[in-house]
Amino acid sequence: MKSFLGFLFGLFCALMIVFIAGENPLTILSILIKSSFGSKYDFGLTLFYMTSLIFTGLSVSVAFKSGLFNIGAEGQLNFSAIAMVSFAMAYPQLGMPSSLLAILFIGVLAGATWGALPGLLKAYRGSHEVIVTMMLNFISAGISSYLISQYLQNPDSQNPESAVIAESFRTNSFDFLNQFFPESPVNLFFLVSIATAIAIHFFFSRSAVGYEMIAVGENPSAAERANISSKKFVVLSLTLSGILASGAAMNEVIGYSGQYKIGFSPEFGFMGIAVALMSNNSPLGIIANAFIMSVFHKGASDLDIETETITKDFSKVIQALVLFGVGLQYYINKSGFKINFPGRNSKKKPKGNS
Amino acid sequence: MNTNIEIEFSNVGKRFGSLWANRDISFSIQKNTIHAIIGENGAGKSTIMKILFGIYPADAGIVKVGDTEVNFQSPIDAMKYKIGMVHQHFMLSPAHTALENVLLVDPEQKPFEFYFKKEKIEKIKATAQLYKFDIPWDTPVKNLGVGVQQKIEILKLLCLDNQILIFDEPTAVLTPHEIDELLNQLLELKKQGKTVILITHKLKEVKRVADMITIFRKGQLVGSYPSSQLDEKEMAAKMVGKAVSFEKRAFERFPDAQTVITLDHVQFKDETRTFNLHLALQRGEILGIAGIEGHGQEKLIPFLLNPKSFKYSGQVLILGRSADSLGNRGARELSVGVFPEDRLRLGVLPELKAFQNFVLGYQRKSHWFKKGFIDWSKVKTLTQNMFDKFKVEPNNIDLTFQSFSGGNQQKIVVARELFHNPDIIIAAHPTRGVDIGAIELIHEQLIQAQEKGKAVLLISSELDELLKLSDRILVIRNGKITSEHGRADFCEKAIGRSMLGVAP
């Protein structure tokens, strides 16, 4: 854990803020821990968040690997979710297992489309992927609001959400993981997300395509010389990004609720950026950091209830500080900064645990 | 004797992190001499001069200028002692004229004072005349050649009445003719009473102008010698720490010379100019391409690698195949190895590890590629073999590429490109920024390839290198081949003139 000290530093700063706000940091810490691990239900919820964060973290990091900044994971997962729900609503009579395969395909396809668009625009029109992915976030939010309000609104609910899709499109009936965590939303996609992270790890460390993708990110001109078309890989990596983001949508729609709720994602796409950065784009690191982030995310919602001064937004504050701490540590490691311990001037001992 | 000493270093040291770039350096520089400082890249010769010029503070030892002990914290301190430095990369404002550039460096200029003071201009012109500088005063610097730009740099220092002038690799960017002129100017400066310090690794020039020679090796001082005592071979041996061969290679022609690259009246365009190329490269031949930097000789590389990506007329044949019949990967499908013209930008992934760089461009070769996956343990073994064969230092394939020195970086690139035993080697500036030991190794590799009947296209801005290795030299000027020189009648002057476009 190269970034563990940075993480502790960020956490420390966050607790200091809590202290200034007039709460006891130790109480806060214990609420955080209890909230995330206190019961099977709580822990299941934490893992549910973690699943989505692994997917979005991977999504962002794959783009990072080839030198692109995908801030559109939010839009990609959103579009994928609305596409899946619309599909399931349109063909409710489909039976297992084709129904499940079809909805997975639609989800992947929608995510891929939403990722490929900025990729194509970047490669062939020179549009900056940050601007395009950001705009696509708004567009997909607009599309889903329109579809929900005009066609898919659940008549039994006053919330802006779709009706629940047919059982044949969902995994609940055979979800063995969920049975360990009664009532909680964690589902099979948790295992899928871990497997995906491992697969991505091998994709980058072993496969030639992964190597070429990294080469494009590292040095596009040299890649071009080595006959690796950077245009092709810009499209490919953003498409892959979109596909990975769609995993977060499946976690919600297929694995858990079976419906599209506006605002179902508490900005998983953006939290994915933090996860990817904290992990320095290592797919296995993403598993660990997604876990940390989900603990904070889960804990912060209970802080809102259990304390007077801390609100839900505190989750963002912790994220920011932890990210800052990890970034600081990365910078310190990179610059080879060393701390002299007093009284030992002759021999300098490097700080850090890298 | 002592009164004649201009600068004295005693036990000077400079440390970067845990590494000593200079250690226990003690030598002195006499007044009114040309003092050459030579050594390989990374030997610490530039560092010691940067200490003298105040760019780095010394970590140990004493520097004396005249009789006073000094401890410069910045170049401004050094300038007060009348020390000036001509940097390798010029510090001129391209949009201003030559005269304005010299006027710009007046420490007494006040913010709202008129710039073009008559007496100042007169003084500048008088100085130029004194040192026999011929400068087109009213031309913007961007339109002037490097040789003239360098003169302007020198003149800037002279107008500040500097007594000690440091030249950092001044001939690296010049043509043979301009080098000649510069060396004469250095002698002129000496005649006028200046002290000149010349940092270089070109031994021929040192031999010609220097009075004293100080040699550095691996951050340490080897010694100071009067230049009459050493010949080029001895200098090189002291720089490297072992004897270096300067023998030109033996030339034998291959009787059944088969042509591997044919450019038949090829014409194509890029953003800046039109190219007209007509040449043939044969097996067992090193064909040198000479030309002043920026005259389009480097464009040959992307063109040869993928002619289809250019709109061209004429015929291109590479290893017997017409360029049109090649696929999207262009000549890279064939057996072609390239030492890229700009190593870091075009040849490698600087932040990845050495062994990961070893497959770049060859990542789908059957040696390690199978069913979509790269067998990295095999790559590592092969990389390690090449590291041993090419004596790459440090011998650690897990280091990132950028942490190697220039010479070792180039060795890795050369090793990679030669690993697949290419029939054609396109070598662009194979020894740029590379130290003498590695230069020798790379040259040997090229000669060996030639002897095995491979064809080498050598593009270089070092005329000496071309003269040493080539069987033929083609001069490119402004995208066109202006002359061809066979080995039998190599003439440095004629080639130089052809590079400059001056009629013989």
Encode pLDDT of A174-210 as tens digits: 888 888 888 889 999 999 999 999 999 999 999 999 9
Domain boundary among B395, B420, B445: B420
Report the pLDDT value the prediction gives residue A209, as an integer from 0 to 100. 94
Distance from CA of A31 to the nearest CA of B (A): 43
Query: CATH number for the domain including B120?
Result: 3.40.50.300
Alpha-carbon span B295 to B476, nearest angstrom: 7
Q: Please answer whether residues A58 and A244 qualify as being in contact, where contact means their C-beta atoms are separated by less than 8 angstroms.
A: yes
Beta strands B259-269; B274-282: pairing state: antiparallel
At A328, list the tokens.
């600081």
pLDDT at A211: 94
Average pLDDT, chain B: 85
Across B38-42, average pLDDT: 76
Contact B374 A211 (CB under 8 A): yes
Considering only residues A22 and B249, tell me which one the structure prediction assigns the higher pLDDT. Answer: A22
Which CATH number describes the domain made up of A43-290? 1.10.3470
Q: In angstroms, how far apart are the furthest CA atoms of chain A?
A: 78
**Is residue B437 in some structural domain?**
no
The more confident residue out of B16 and B345 is B345
Query: Is A219 close to B340, i.e. CB distance below 8 A?
Result: no
Name residue B337's beta-bridge partners.
B425
B3 pLDDT higher than 70: no
| CB < 8 Å to B347, chain A | 222, 225
Helices (runs of H) and strands (runs of E) counted in chain B: 15, 22
Average pLDDT for B94-118: 81
Q: Tell me what the mean pLDDT of segment B215-235 comes to.
A: 85
> B377: nearest CA in chain A?
A206
How many angstroms away from the CA of A213 is the closest CA of chain B?
12
Domain membership of residue B427 (yes or no) is: no
Q: Which residues contact residue B478 at a Cβ distance below 8 angstroms, ignoring those fewer than 6 apart?
A: B273, B295, B296, B501
The shortest C-alpha distance from B242 to chain A (Å) reads: 35
Interface of chain A against chain B, CB under 8 Å?
205-209, 211-212, 214-215, 218-219, 221-223, 225-227, 336
Least confident of A138-142, A224-228, A251-255, A344-348: A344-348
Residue B251 pLDDT more than 50?
A: yes
Residue B435 has pLDDT above 80, yes or no: no
Query: B164 near B6, Cβ under 8 Å?
Result: yes
Residues B224 and B85 in one domain: yes
Span between the terminal Cα atoms of chain B, in Å? 48
pLDDT in the model for residue B422: 92
Q: Higher model confidence: residue B393 or residue B426?
A: B426
Residues of B with CB under 8 A from a CB of A: 17, 305, 328-330, 332, 338, 340, 345-352, 356, 359-364, 369, 372-374, 376
What type of residue sits at position B84?
A: G
β-strand partners of B369: B374
Helix, strand, coil proportions of chain B in percent (round to 5)? 35, 25, 35
Nearest to A215 by CA among A187, A186, A236: A236
The pLDDT value given to residue A354: 36
Torsion from C-alpha of B458, B461, B465, B471, nearest 10 degrees? 40
Domain boundaries, chain A: 43-290
Mean of all residue pLDDT scores within chain A: 88
> Could you tell me if B37 and B178 lie in one domain?
yes
User: Using CA atoms, how far apart are residues B428 and B416, in angstroms rounded to an integer?
Assistant: 15
Q: How many CB atoms lie within 10 A of CB B430?
A: 26
| Same domain, residue pair B47 and B117 | yes
Same domain, B330 and B342: no
Q: Which residue of B has its CA nearest to A210?
A: B373
Question: Rounded to an integer, what distance in angstroms lies between the CA atom of residue B462 and that of residue B478?
Answer: 18
Candidate from A303-307, B211-215, B440-444 with smallest mean pLDDT: A303-307
Average pLDDT over residues B321-327: 84
Domain total of chain B = 3
* CB proximity list for A125: less than 8 A, separation 6 or greater: none
Interface A:B, Cβ pairs < 8 A: 58
Name chain A contacts of B360, Cβ cutoff 8 Å: 215, 222-223, 226
The verdict on residue B112 lying in a domain is: yes
Cα–Cα distance for residue pair B349/A222, rounded to 1 Å: 7
Instruction: Indicate the helix (H) or strand (E) that contains A325.
Output: helix A314-335
Distance separating alpha carbons of residues B414 and B427, to the nearest angstrom: 9
Same domain, B209 and B265: no
Q: What is the pLDDT of residues B259-285, one digit of tens each?
A: 888 888 899 888 778 899 998 898 888
Q: Are A284 and A176 in contact (CB under 8 A)?
A: no
Q: State the helix-helix crossing angle for B232-240 and B436-451, rounded to 10 degrees.
A: 110
Q: Which of A208-212, B87-91, B182-186, B428-432 has the lowest mean pLDDT?
A: B87-91
- Which chain B residue has the Cα nearest residue A336? B17
The minimum CA-CA distance between A54 and chain B, rounded to whole Å, is: 25
Distance CA(B26)–CA(B11), nearest Å, equals 5
Sort out which chain B residues have CB atoms less than 8 A from A214's CB and list them. 349, 352
* C-alpha distance from B413 to closest chain A C-alpha (Å): 12
pLDDT in tens, B288-298: 999 887 788 88
List C-alpha distances in Å: B5 to A176, B153, B199, B480: 89, 26, 19, 52
Residue where a domain terminates, one of B366, B400, B420: B420
Q: Which among B420, B437, B469 is the end of a domain?
A: B420
A240-287 pLDDT, tens digit each: 999 999 999 999 999 999 999 998 998 899 999 989 988 888 999 999
Q: Tell me the nearest-neighbour CA distance from A239 into chain B, angstroms.
A: 19
**What's the sign of the alpha-carbon dihedral A321, A322, A323, A325?**
positive
A116 versus B227: the higher-pLDDT residue is: A116
Q: Which 3 state secondary structure label does DSSP give B383?
A: helix
In a domain, B302, yes or no: yes
Nearest-by-CA chain A residue for B368:
A208
B360 in any annotated domain: yes
Residue in A closest to B417 by C-alpha = A226
Closest Cα in chain A to B330: A227
**Mean pLDDT computed over B234-252:** 68
Interface test with chain B among A202, A209, A213, A225, by most B beta carbons within 10 Å: A225
Q: Name the residue facing A222 among B349, B356, B362 (closest C-beta).
A: B349
Name the token pair of B366: 């059957």
Asked if B34 and B165 sit in the same domain, the reply is yes
Question: Interior CA angle at B378 toward B375 and B383, to 5°?
Answer: 120
The Cα B37–Cα B214 span in angstroms is: 5
With beta carbons under 8 A apart, name residues in chain A contacting B366: none
Q: Do A222 and B346 touch (CB under 8 A)?
A: yes
Enumerate the residues of chain A whose CB falls inside 8 A of the CB of residue B364.
208
Q: What percent of chain B lies above the pLDDT cut of 70?
A: 95
* pLDDT surpassing 70 at residue B247: no
Give me the residue label for tokens 């002043």.
Answer: B292
Paired with B259 in beta bridges are B282
CA distances from B204 to A153, B36, B200, B217 (A): 86, 12, 10, 19
Cβ-Cβ contacts under 8 Å, A223 against chain B: 360
Q: Which two tokens stand for residue B109?
A: 């200029």
pLDDT > 70: percent of chain A: 93
Lowest mean pLDDT among A88-102, A283-297, B167-181, B417-431: B167-181
Q: Which domain holds residue B114?
A: 2-239
Closest Cβ opposite residue B363 in set A212, A219, A225:
A212
Q: Nearest residue of A to residue B356 by CA position?
A: A211
| Segments in A226-313 forming alpha helices (H) | 230-252, 268-278, 283-306
H and E: helices and strands count for chain A: 14, 0
What number of other Cβ atoms are within 10 A of residue B433's Cβ? Answer: 15
How close is the nearest chain A Cα to the Cα of B421, in Å?
A: 17
Comparing B89 with B205, which gets the higher pLDDT? B205
pLDDT at A352 over 50: no
Name B118's Cβ contacts closer than 8 Å, sequence gap at least 6.
none
Per CB-CB distance under 8 Å, the chain B contacts of A205 are: 376
For the segment A313-328, the average pLDDT, to the nearest whole number, is 83
Whether B345 sits inside 8 A of A222 (CB atoms) is yes
- Using CA atoms, how far apart are residues B452 and B445, in angstroms rounded to an integer? 11
Q: Is the pLDDT at A347 greater than 80, yes or no?
A: no
Instruction: For residue A207, give the chain B residue with the closest CA.
Output: B373
The two three-digit tokens of residue B320, written as one number: 């017997």
Consecutive H or E run containing B471: none
Show the tokens assigned to A306: 């259990």
A108 min Cα distance to partner chain B (Å): 23
Q: pLDDT at position A159, please? A: 87
Asked if residue B169 and residue B96 are part of one domain, the reply reads: yes
* Consecutive H or E run containing A86: helix A73-90
The helix-helix angle for A73-90 and A129-147 (nearest 10°) equals 30
Instruction: Copy the structure tokens of residue A291.
Output: 């876990």
> Nearest residue of A to residue B357 by CA position?
A215
pTM for the whole thing? Answer: 0.75
Q: Is residue A271 a contact partner of residue A293, using CB atoms and an 8 Å limit?
A: yes
Do B320 and B353 lie in one domain? The reply is no
Which has the higher per-residue pLDDT, A58 or B324?
A58
Pairing of strands B285-290, B312-318: unpaired
Residue B436: name the closest of B479, B466, B480, B406 by CA. B406
Residues of A in contact with B362 (CB under 8 A): 226
Interval B150-163: pLDDT, tens? 888 888 888 888 88
Residue A58 has pLDDT above 70, yes or no: yes
Q: Which of A83, A81, A75 is nearest to A118 (CA)?
A: A75
The burial of B348, by beta-carbon neighbours within 10 Å (0-12 exposed, 13-18 middle, 19 or more buried), is given as: buried
Q: How far is B322 from chain A (nearest CA, A)?
A: 19
Nearest to B351 among A205, A218, A226 (CB): A218
Nearest by CB: B361 against A208, A221, A227: A227
Pick the closest to residue B417 from B350, B332, B296 (CA basis).
Answer: B332
Residues B120 and B262 in one domain: no
